[in-house]
Structure 1
Amino acid sequence: MDEVRVFPIIITKNKDSSEYPYFVEIPDIDGMTEGKSIADAMKMAEDYIGTFSLENKLPDSNTKLPRVEEGAVVTLVSVNVSEYKRKNDNRVVKKTISIPNYLNELGKENRINFSEVMTAALKKKLSV
Structure 2
Amino acid sequence: MTLVYPAIFHEEDGSFWVEFPDLEGCQSFGDTIAETMEGAKEALAGYAAVVLEEGKQLPTPTPIQNIKPEEHCFVSLIDAKPASTKRAVKKTLSIPAWLNDLAEDAHAPYSAILQDGLEKYLHLA
Report the TM-score, using the length of structure 2 for normalisation.
0.57
Aligned length: 83
Asked if 2 retains the 8 angstrom alpha-carbon contact of 1:22 and 1:38, the reply is yes
Q: What amino acid maps onto 1:46 in structure 2?
A: K
Q: What amino acid maps onto 2:81 in structure 1?
A: N
Pair 1:42-2:43 in alignment: no
Matched with 1:10 is: 8
Query: Could you list the per-position Cα deviations for residues 53-92 of structure 1 after superposition, in whole angstroms to 9, with x for gaps in the alignment?
Result: 12203223444241012211211011123xx32xxx2337
User: What is the SS of the residue equivalent to 1:77?
Assistant: strand
Asked if 1 retains the 8 angstrom alpha-carbon contact of 2:6 and 2:61, the reply is no
Give unmatched runs, 5+ long, in structure 1. 95-128
Larger radius of gyration: 1
Matched with 2:95 is: none
Percent identical pairs in the alignment equals 25
User: What is the SS of the residue equivalent to 1:27?
Assistant: coil
Pair 1:32-2:32 in alignment: no
Mapping of residues 98-113 of structure 1, within 5 Å: none
Query: Could you list the per-position Cα deviations for residues 82-113 of structure 1 after superposition, in whole angstroms to 9, with x for gaps in the alignment?
Result: xx32xxx233789xxxxxxxxxxxxxxxxxxx
Distance 1:58 1:93, change over 3 A: closer
Give unmatched runs, 5+ long, in structure 2. 52-56, 91-125
User: What is the SS of the residue equivalent to 1:45?
Assistant: helix
RMSD: 2.2
Matched with 1:51 is: 46
Pair 1:67-2:68 in alignment: yes
